[in-house]
Amino acid sequence: MSQRDTGWADLMRAANSGDAESYERVLRRIAAALRPLVRRGLARAGRSGADIEDVVQEVLLAVHLKQHTWDSTRPIEPWVHAIARHKLVDALRRRHGNFDLPLDDFSETLAAEEESPSVSGREVERHLAQLPAGQRAVVHAVAVEGVSIAEAAERLNLTAGAVRVALHRGLASLAKTLEQD
């Protein structure tokens, strides 16, 4: 499998040392590359069009939460690719019973990027409603309303530290409930 150098690794390394702007850029670019990849995967499984953005979001969450499993001295594309494949197979199994995606059918490059920032998924929203109230309020404020940690803390009458913890736990529980659904 040959992977084009996407430039993601540099951005991710910058993100790892705390550069939020690089992190935002790399997440958007990964999401954009995941869309065509997930679309092809779903099409090959005979599930064209269904739930593309839901799977994209689930992969993105995993990329975020499992970031420490990428060895920053190695290329990042095979890592993203393996996560995407794992999550896609998982999503297909969950929704359509026992299912195996042949490895070859998914060994595409992550070259193409498909920007569509306003696309929505339904699953995250649905699972957000099941989170504990504190986590839900923080995730909603930061994600949907786009407020900063400090603003969320003021609004919810919490310390910034508590907001950070609730945000991280909220994202982790989202990933967990998405996986179990």
Partner 1 sequence: MRTDDLVHAMVADLHAAQTSIGRQFALAIAIGFAISAVLFWVTLGPRPDIAAAALTIRFDLKIVETLLLAATAVALVLRLAQPGAGTGLQKIVLAAAPALLTVAVMAELLVVPTDQWQAKLVGSNSLVCLTAIPLLSLPLLAALLLALRHGAPTSRGAAGAAAGLVAGGLAAALYATQCTDDSPLFVATWYTIAIGAVTVLGAFLGRRLLRW
If binding is defined by CB under 8 A, does position 117 make contact with partner 1? yes
User: What track of x and - describes contact with partner 1 for positions 2 through 21 (by CB under 8 A)?
Assistant: -------------xxxx-x-
If binding is defined by CB under 8 A, does position 68 make contact with partner 1? yes
Q: Which is nearer to partner 1, 32 or 44 (CB)?
A: 32
If binding is defined by CB under 8 A, does position 66 make contact with partner 1? yes
Query: What is the C-alpha to C-alpha distance for residues 47 and 88, in angstroms, rounded to an integer?
Result: 12
Whether 93 contacts 121, CB under 8 Å: no
> Which one of 121, 155, 162, 177 is in contact with partner 1 (CB under 8 A)?
121
If binding is defined by CB under 8 A, does position 62 make contact with partner 1? yes
Structure tokens at 174: 């989202």
If binding is defined by CB under 8 A, does position 94 make contact with partner 1? no
CA dist 107 → 37, 96, 103, 113 (Å): 10, 22, 6, 16
Whether 178 contacts 124, CB under 8 Å: yes
The full length of the chain comes to 181
If binding is defined by CB under 8 A, does position 74 make contact with partner 1? yes
> Which one of 11, 55, 110, 128 is in contact with partner 1 (CB under 8 A)?
128
